[in-house]
Amino acid sequence: MVSTVFDLNISHQAQATFKKNIFYSEAREYQKPLKNMIKVCPKPMQWASIYKNLIAYAKLNKCTPSHPPNPLILAGWNYSNDIDKQNRWSKTIEWAKNNNCHEIVCSISEDDYYYVDEMTRGEVMPLGGSMKSTWSFKPKNRPSSKDLEQYISILLRNWSEIVGNDIARYTKPLEFTGKKARRLLVLADVDHSPPWGGWNVLAKNEEQRRRFTIFRADINKAISPHKVDHVDFKTDNFLTSNTSPMNK
């Protein structure tokens, strides 16, 4: 697990500034795409801090209801989808407005919000992944072979612009797989690690995991109206493969 250990003697403000600087360093090249993503709610650490301040306010002032909505953090975060999180945060904002402490929920910066390229809905599995609910499921047709060839061609021609030079240097899109062609197979150099942890393993750190979400979102924007739900990485024979970026 990749995490940051904070000195408990450091002030909360200093800790927040320190973590924000880490995010700026790790995700500088991804700040622009975030503007096109959906804002869901504050990240768990920031949400917990705001809730603590709202509770403190409620103890000193007569509020209706007497307590703010509970934040979806810890287990609540893992067992809720994005719609749940956004709705709970909206109720928190409404509670703050109704009780004249809106400035508390407005104190959070844009960089401390949790963003996604597509909102998850329905039930959530024990490990946090979303399950497709039957009421929202829409059958998707497999694109024609001609369309898939065109999508791969778009990715190959513009790969560095789509995913960034650092990632493009050690990767190359190969083909769409799966019954609906909604998986993308990408060749990757096992000797280099992506910013989200590993080629086939996501880091537990929320900010690092978001880098993969942005990576996939950028791919989907490039091949729209088609979309991939998964990106698989092939790491064997990278240096010797005829399709390797290093053999162009």
- Supply the CATH number for residue 185's domain: 3.30.300
In order along its 248 residues, the chain shows pLDDT tens digits of: 333 333 333 345 444 443 444 343 333 333 334 556 788 999 999 999 999 999 999 999 999 999 999 999 987 888 888 888 999 999 999 999 999 999 999 988 888 999 887 777 765 544 444 444 433 445 678 999 999 999 999 999 999 999 988 899 999 999 999 999 999 999 999 888 899 888 888 777 777 777 888 888 889 889 999 999 889 999 876 554 544 433 33
Of 117, 136, 155, the last residue of a domain is 136
Identify whether 4 is part of a domain: no
Alpha carbon of 225 to those of 2, 118, 130, 143, 215: distances in Å? 35, 14, 22, 10, 17
Identify whether 176 is part of a domain: yes
Amino acid at 76: G
d(CA 6, CA 14): 10
**Do residues 122 and 150 both lie within one domain?**
no
**Do residues 153 and 126 both lie within one domain?**
no
**Do residues 151 and 130 both lie within one domain?**
no
Identify whether 173 is part of a domain: yes
Of 136, 164, 180, the last residue of a domain is 136
**Do residues 44 and 77 both lie within one domain?**
yes
The pair of structure tokens assigned to 227 is 């979309």
**Do residues 201 and 221 both lie within one domain?**
yes
DSSP state of 2: -
Nearest CA to 189 among 238, 232, 242, 246? 238
**Do residues 112 and 168 both lie within one domain?**
no
Count how many Cα atoms sit within 13 Å of the Cα of residue 39 in the half-sphere of its side chain: 11
Q: What is the pLDDT of residue 69?
A: 94
Identify whether 229 is part of a domain: yes
Number of domains in the chain: 2
Q: What is the pLDDT of residue 123?
A: 59
Residues in the chain: 248
With a CB cutoff of 8 Å and minimum separation 6, the contacts of 172 are 156, 159, 186, 187, 243, 244, 245
**Do residues 163 and 130 both lie within one domain?**
no
d(CA 62, CA 67): 10
Of 136, 157, 187, the last residue of a domain is 136
**Do residues 190 and 237 both lie within one domain?**
yes
Three-state DSSP state, 112:
helix
Identify whether 102 is part of a domain: yes
Identify whether 91 is part of a domain: yes
**Do residues 107 and 175 both lie within one domain?**
no
**Residue range of the domain that includes 86:** 37-136
**Do residues 164 and 129 both lie within one domain?**
no
Alpha carbon of 135 to those of 131, 132, 230: distances in Å? 12, 9, 22
Identify whether 121 is part of a domain: yes
**Do residues 114 and 165 both lie within one domain?**
no
- 137: number of Cβ within 10 Å: 9
**Do residues 117 and 164 both lie within one domain?**
no
Identify whether 209 is part of a domain: yes
Task: Give one word for 5, left, alpha or beta, with left for phi > 0 and alpha for psi -120 to 50.
Answer: beta
d(CA 177, CA 173): 12
Triad 139, 143, 145: Cα angle to 5°? 150
